[in-house]
Structure 1
Amino acid sequence: MSIWWSLHLRREAASVPLARRLLLGTMETAGVDPDISYDLSLALSEACANAVEHAGNTDSSQAYRVTAYLDGEKCRIEVTDAGPGFPSAGRRTPVRAAHPEAEHGRGLCLIQELADHVHIRNKPGRGGAVVSFDKILKWRKDAPLVAV
């Protein structure tokens, strides 16, 4: 079984729950275990919130993209924006824990805790950030679309 979809969303706060609900609906229909679905939807919400908040200027008409792949026993999600990207000296962007009293800065750490593999990088060329993560799927016993 293989399912994929891609959304182009405006950089507005209302786009975050839209992406999350679509992912949850897809996973419920496919028969993914609810705990796995919740983890991935929370990680997706954090990645989308980062794209909305940090992807450059305040022009909310600028879009970002969410792509989800359920392929076999794995789900991969990618959130790509057209902002300035991650400030980094090297090719790999380290994720640092936020100061305990900070109001922001926990999203990427949370994504790392919820997913099995996380890749954070800048897009080559025109710029922008790419956050992709994947997780091995578990299925409900009554799952209609279980991979064979």
Structure 2
Amino acid sequence: MSIWWSLHLRREAASVPLARRLLLGAMETAGVDPDISYDLSVALSEACANAVEHGGHRGRGASSEAYRVTAYLDGEMCRIEVADAGPGFTAADRSRPAHDDAESGRGLFLIRELADHVHVGNKPGRGGAVVSFDKILKWRRDPALLTV
């Protein structure tokens, strides 16, 4: 089975649970194991929260007020990509460890812990950050999509 979807969301806090619910609904319908779905939904929430907080430039127009989420469920793999129009990542951002006492700054650490493969980079050209992550899927025995 192959499912993919893409959203263009405003950089508003309310967009984060919307993306998360859409992902959870698609995975439940496809029959993905709930533990895998939960891990991916937390990772997606972290990536979206980063895009909302850091993903825009002042004076750059409407494109800096939005970010994009794309999800692919293809065979045994799920890939999620979150891209924004912000300043992008520095080398220090990509390798900074999470501090136990920090109130923020743990998003990339959590994504790395929850996914099987993570890529953090910058979009070529006009700039912006891209966070993509993959996870091997496990399946429920009774997927809703197959019982319709």
TM-score, length-normalised on structure 1? Answer: 0.90
The code of the aligned residue for 2:135 comes to K
**In the alignment, does 2:121 pair up with 1:121?**
yes
**In the alignment, does 2:8 pair up with 1:2?**
no
Aligned residues: 143
TM-score, length-normalised on structure 2? Answer: 0.90
Please report how far the alpha carbon of residue 144 of structure 1 lies from its aligned counterpart in structure 2 after TM superposition. 4.8
Larger fraction in helix:
2
- Quick one: percent identity of the two aligned structures? 81
Alpha carbons 1:95, 1:108 under 8 Å: kept: no
- The residue matched to 1:70 in structure 2 has which SS? strand
Residues 89-131 of structure 1 show CA distances to partners (whole Å, capped at 9, x for unaligned) of 8xxx633222222211100000000000000000010000000
Alpha carbons 2:57, 2:87 under 8 Å: kept: no
**In the alignment, does 2:67 pair up with 1:64?**
yes
2-side partners of 1:57 and 1:64: how far apart? 12
Unaligned runs of 5+ in 2: none
Please report how far the alpha carbon of residue 55 of structure 1 lies from its aligned counterpart in structure 2 after TM superposition. 1.2
Q: Within 5 Å, which residues of 2 pair with 1:1-148?
A: 1-57=1-57, 62-88=65-91, 94-145=94-145
The worse-fitting range, judged by mean Cα deviation, of 64-73 and 48-57 is 48-57
Unaligned runs of 5+ in 1: none
* Cα root mean square deviation, aligned: 1.9
2-side partners of 1:64 and 1:53: how far apart? 11
2-side partners of 1:65 and 1:26: how far apart? 17
